[in-house]
Amino acid sequence: MSAAKDWWIYRGTGTVADKRARLDENRPPWREFRGVPDPEYAPPGTAGPAWADTWQRGDGYVPDDAEINAVNTAIYLRRPLLVTGKPGVGKSTLAHSIAADLELGPVLHWPVTSRSSLRDGLYQYDAIGRLHDANLRHLKAGRSAPPRRLQGGRPSSGSAIAPYLRLGPLGTALLPQERPRVLLVDEIDKSDIDLPGDLLTVFEEGSFEIPELARIAARQPRVRVGTQDDPEVCAGIDRGLVQCNAFPVVVLTSNGERDFPPPFLRRCIRLHVEPPCEEKLKKIVRQRLRLDDTTRDDRYQDLIVDFIERRTEGDLATDQLLNAVQLRLSGAWSGAGERKDFLNAVLQRLTGPLA
């Protein structure tokens, strides 16, 4: 990484407050959002186990200039960052690095599968649990008949809906807040073919509606629901609409298993992460394993060379190298004749021929 550039926010100079102020001052006119923060809701800050995990993962990340440029471009323009690259090159860790550097709280993580839908990311609604609890209340009251006005499998309007709703990672990221949250949408290339298109409107508008709350807005305009961070920490939602104030820092990762439609790509800043070179691997090892200047390079340099040689014949993940170095420094697999077995055990290729 070269010297920090004046325009950088992520990995730039100055205090965290300076960086956030620079971000607030440079909002594109077409990406301004008007959500009103709930004074009774406080998103998690830089404390607790969730933040400790984000900090630990993100603080040891070693980005190069291309990565820093792409991240800063995305956060200036309030656009999602689509990160592609082979498994194990650190795509997901980049999201934690952004959160740690700008102290934006724990990363909100949405792991995508082939069954994931847009609603999974926005919110979850336990309609069956609500119906079951409503029937139990009536049975306890000595009423054998089902609840009145039961239509379409929904309990009557008198049944409180809030306990059965919870915002998902995307929905929580879009809550109106003064500072943005970091949202990691992991392995979006594994999604159903419709999900990238479904995300377009949400990313463009910075808002979404919860129909279950919109239907009862006339008689209950404000409902407090749990968040992805904590189901017990609730945020107020007015008339079923969630509208962001500070657009979240969205990092979407892809292993390249599919192509995305042009309208989706047009709305993203794209970054391809290459496997790290020898010099970068050395920096990663020292940073991630917290090695000080007294730890000699010759204790692990040969493992870096072995890692690069094996990587030419099949994919390897950087954390496999970290595992190998950690074992070496711990004195494991120290027998004179164990080297080949050691390398085969910890540097097993993810693709290509077996060692």
pLDDT tens for residues 115-145?
A: 999 999 999 998 888 888 778 877 887 655 5
Tell me phi and psi for residue 249, to 5 degrees.
-85, 105
Tell me phi and psi for residue 253, to 5 degrees.
-110, 150
Tens-place pLDDT, residues 242-298: 999 999 999 999 998 889 999 999 999 999 999 999 999 999 999 888 888 777 778
Q: Which superfamily does CATH assign the domain made up of 16-123+162-272 to?
A: P-loop containing nucleotide triphosphate hydrolases (3.40.50.300)
Give how far the C-alpha of residue 184 lies from the chain's centroid of Cα atoms, to the nearest Å.
Answer: 2
Task: Give mean pLDDT, residues 44-63.
Answer: 92
Percentage above 90 pLDDT, the chain: 74
What are the DSSP calls for 217-244, one per residue? TTT--EEEEE-SS-TTSEEEEETTEEE-
pLDDT for 159 beyond 80: no
Helix, strand, or coil (residue 119): helix
What are the DSSP calls for 175-209, one per residue? S--SSPPEEEEETGGGS-TTHHHHHHHHHHHSEEE
Work out the pLDDT band at 353, boundaries 50, 70, 90.
low
Q: What six digits make up the tokens of 275?
A: 């496997």
> If you search the block for the tokens 């993940």, which residue do you land on?
317
Going from N- to C-terminal start, the domains of the chain cover 16-123+162-272, 278-346
pLDDT for 34 beyond 60: yes
pLDDT score, position 2: 75
Give me the chain's average pLDDT, please: 90
Tell me phi and psi for residue 338, to 5 degrees.
-100, 0
pLDDT score, position 28: 93
pLDDT score, position 11: 96
Tens-place pLDDT, residues 92-114: 999 999 999 999 999 999 999 99
pLDDT score, position 143: 55
Q: What six digits make up the tokens of 152?
A: 């379409």
pLDDT score, position 157: 40
Measured distance CA(208)–CA(26) in Å, rounded: 25
pLDDT score, position 3: 86
Measured distance CA(81)–CA(96) in Å, rounded: 13
Helix, strand, or coil (residue 187): coil
pLDDT for 328 beyond 60: yes
pLDDT score, position 321: 95
Helix, strand, or coil (residue 124): strand
pLDDT for 14 beyond 90: yes
pLDDT score, position 146: 53
Work out the pLDDT band at 355, boundaries 50, 70, 90.
low
Least confident of 78-82, 153-157, 237-241, 327-331: 153-157
pLDDT score, position 302: 92
Q: For residue 253, what are the β-bridge partners?
A: 83
CB 253 within 8 A of CB 184: yes
3-state secondary structure 138-179: HHHCCCCCCCCCCECCECCCCCCCHHHEEECHHHHHCCCCCC
Higher model confidence: residue 74 or residue 299? 74
